[in-house]
Structure 1
């Protein structure tokens, strides 16, 4: 099983900030919402302002779809599919941005499941809300504990008869730390080199799994291919 983040991991930018840039001016009262209610609440308000400014949902989605992938990410998805590796996305972006980007780049069928903040089109307006509201994890955002989501998926698959011999996690940010702390010694984390997660892992003494930083996904594919050979 490989779990992977979206912003700055699959894509080489942050989908929310790209969309935010479609607005020429955001009132300070809206900017203040980030500190009061959190990022996802703020982004829902940004989407409302875009609608009020007559920016169509198609233009918003096009801005996201045009974000380039990180180096060799598309090839990695195809390689993992050939290896019969289950891939899930756990992201604090939203379901529409992720789904549309994957479809546009021809890799939607490489992903088993997407866990993200649910978004939908209401009339001509995009809306987004938090994935869940949690108070049990201090190192995660209140709308998404990625460690909880990863553990739930593993248990769900075990109930269906699939037990993963190896787990790997690929991410870049602070909110990727919780799932990594749940990985075992035989598992792998692939932090994007020189990003926040990479720096946090260098300081942490709680991580049990193997750490392999990356700037190109070729090293991820090579590592997982070697695991497949070991399994045989």
Structure 2
């Protein structure tokens, strides 16, 4: 599936929480975080929180252990693994940070499914303290977007991704997210692309308030079963579109619990001829 690129937000999209808030609350520094909330950018506060944890004797291993407890629904894990098995190019665009995202994805066996993670850089300094840095240097070169936070404009990241993946031909992009910055990312989608916004979250409010700005097809989701079904329906439809140019021996046999619930009977019949898919468990 060389023509399909699926881009995920991370917090409240792949995982069922905000990873920053999870660490702050689980490791007992929520009070200090709240105090700083209106005086510093969020990204800068998280860097300050990691210093506070270090000062309290918390190690990088403590942070890692905390992150491994983050809830990730089996349905989204299954959908990611299935899309990867089909050959989709999976990427992350997130305002979390490299350490948090890689730790969580690796723990759930999903890290190798993604070709790229676009997020705030992080590093462990010589003192053993986790440092979290901004994706965009907002002091020297502010991005100027009034939707996204100062440290990361997802729209600019999407422009970079499209340029990279389109270098060797036309690609269909799918974007999955929940927040206002994900709306900014979605504005970079074109006709034929797919936007998957989470229902009753800021992204849907912005889409509703600006109905003419989004060019992509919109498939909403409210829970991870619905997201998984929507994602695999999109993958399967793309597979059907490409099937005339793809030999059946190049397709990946897939045992997936989703039985293409959103695909029409005709499309489902066409898919079954191209790829053996087991019934739902």
Task: Give the TM-score taking structure 2 as reference length.
Answer: 0.77
Q: Which whole-Å CA distance do the structure 2 matches of 1:25 and 1:109 have between them?
A: 32
Number of residue pairs aligned between Structure 1 and Structure 2: 229
> Match of 1:112, SS?
strand
Indicate if the aligned counterparts of 2:15 and 2:70 stay in contact, CA closer than 8 A.
Answer: yes
Task: Pick one of 170, 184, 194 that aligns with 2:190.
Answer: 184
CA RMSD of aligned residues (A): 1.7
| Alpha carbons of structure 1 residues 26 and 3: separation in structure 2 relative to 1, 3 Å | closer
1:128-167 deviation digits (Å, cap 9, x = unpaired): 01101233211111110111111112212334x2431x11
1:76-131 deviation digits (Å, cap 9, x = unpaired): 11111122111110000000011111111111111000011111111321110110
Q: Which whole-Å CA distance do the structure 1 matches of 2:195 and 2:29 have between them?
A: 39
Q: Which whole-Å CA distance do the structure 1 matches of 2:87 and 2:59 have between them?
A: 38
**Does 2:129 align with 1:125?**
yes
Match of 1:138 in 2: 146
Instruction: Name the larger-Rg structure.
Output: 2
Measured after TM superposition, the shift of residue 10 of structure 1 is 0.5
Q: Which whole-Å CA distance do the structure 2 matches of 1:70 and 1:12 have between them?
A: 7
Structure 1: gaps of 5 or more residues: none
Measured after TM superposition, the shift of residue 212 of structure 1 is 0.7
Q: Which whole-Å CA distance do the structure 1 matches of 2:28 and 2:174 have between them?
A: 40
Match of 2:232 in 1: 221
> Match of 1:89, SS?
strand
Q: Which whole-Å CA distance do the structure 1 matches of 2:100 and 2:27 have between them?
A: 17
Which aligned segments of 4 or more residues in structure 1 are displaced greater than 3 angstroms? 22-28, 30-34
**Does 2:21 align with 1:17?**
yes
Task: Pick one of 209, 213, 233 that aligns with 1:203.
Answer: 209
The more displaced of 201-210 and 101-110 is 201-210
Q: Which whole-Å CA distance do the structure 2 matches of 1:138 and 1:7 have between them?
A: 21
Structure 2: gaps of 5 or more residues: 244-281
Match of 2:92 in 1: 89
Indicate if the aligned counterparts of 2:7 and 2:93 stay in contact, CA closer than 8 A.
Answer: yes
